[in-house]
Amino acid sequence: MLFCLALFLNTSGAIAATPDNTQSLCHSTTVKQANSQITYTTKDITAASSKIKAYYEKYNKLPGYVVINNHKVTMPQFLQLLSDDIYLHNSEGSSTVTLRNVAAPSKPVENVKYGSLTKTQYINLVKTTRSHIYSTGKAPNYENTALGKIKFQNLVYIFSKIEDFQKNKKRLPNQVSVKPFNTISPDSSVQSKIDAIGYEEARFADIQGQSSPSVMERVGYGDCWADSGLLYNKLSAAGISVRIMGCSSGRYTLHRWVAINTGNGWQTWDYRKYRSQHYGALGSGHYVVKY
């Protein structure tokens, strides 16, 4: 018995995950099979990327395929769309991408550590992935990076994160976080990294007027700007998705703090848990200072 899981993205941007335990529905004639004549815009690809990213972070797995504008796109094909679109954004701006027939990898393997890839590093990863697909007609089992081997499924997720950022920020990110596949939810090892950083941060005194993270680490004190920069640097280095927040209205418009995302959405850093001296009012009108 064949089990399929699909994400359907219609022209309005709606999406639904559909479990399917019948072979006939997996090959339903209402869903058009992909061919080399189908093209997608950046808007199509980024919309699907956001849904794939959200689906993985909720269910800790990828769907079998995604339907975009009534065409079934497999995950190997979607990796091709992702790599092409990111490549175009980096080299010549947005354009349409032609969908190709891409075979699934034979035996994906992974041996990657937590960390982040710079823009230069992930663009090189996009190029090598794209080159492999175009030269072999199939998705790679894995690609080598400075953080180790990243397998096919994780490439889909990482590239989807890049596209989702592009959709929201109208530019490519300066870096992208990398974690072993199937560990997006905060497991014990991830939580231990977070706790270690939290207890380390709590030892720094809250003194206004010293706003440099590097100076703060050297002298042992600093203000909220220094502290948020320190947390951002340490959490990013540990592979934790983090961003610096600010507020645009209220009494504390100069205040800064951090938020992290371990797979369940953005959460304000738990300063109280670690008895940090930098816990304070968050103000109102929140916006992202740095991500």
Residues 148/82, Cβ–Cβ less than 8 Å: no
The model's confidence at residue 95, banded by pLDDT at 50, 70 and 90, is confident
pLDDT at residue 21 greater than cutoff 50: no
Q: Token match 């961003």: residue?
A: 243
pLDDT digits (tens, 9 = 90+) for 239-289: 888 999 988 776 777 889 999 987 667 889 999 899 999 876 666 677 888
For residue range 100-149, list pLDDT tens digits in order.
999 999 999 999 888 889 999 999 999 999 999 999 999 999 999 999 99
Beta strands 111-112 and 148-151 are antiparallel
With a CB cutoff of 8 Å and minimum separation 6, the contacts of 4 are 19, 20, 25, 26, 64, 65
Q: Of 67, 60, 56, 136, whose CA–CA distance to 104 is shortest?
A: 136
Identify the residue whose tokens are 């304070």. Answer: 280
Answer whether 157's CB lies under 8 Å from 110's CB.
Answer: no
Outline where the chain has alpha helix (H).
23-26, 42-59, 75-91, 119-136, 152-169, 188-201, 213-219, 224-237
Confidence (pTM)? 0.56
| Structural domains of the chain, with CATH | 4-178 (no CATH), 188-290 (3.10.620.30)
Q: What is the pLDDT of residue 31?
A: 35
How would you list the strands of the sheet with 111-112, edge to edge?
Answer: 111-112, 148-151, 142-145
Q: Rounded distance, CA 62 to CA 116, Å?
A: 21
Residue 260 is given by DSSP the state E
Three state DSSP letters for 171-225: CCCCEEEECCCCCCCCCHHHHHHHHHHHHHHCCCEECCCCCCHHHHHHHCEECHH
Residue 129: strand, helix, or coil:
helix
Quote the tokens at residue 140. Answer: 């790679």
* Strand, coil or helix: 282: coil
Q: Is pLDDT of 212 > 90?
A: yes
Which tens digit of pLDDT belongs to each residue from 158-195?
999 999 999 988 899 999 988 888 754 545 577 888 99
Residue 135's alpha-carbon distances to 142, 145, 149, 158, in angstroms, are: 15, 20, 20, 22
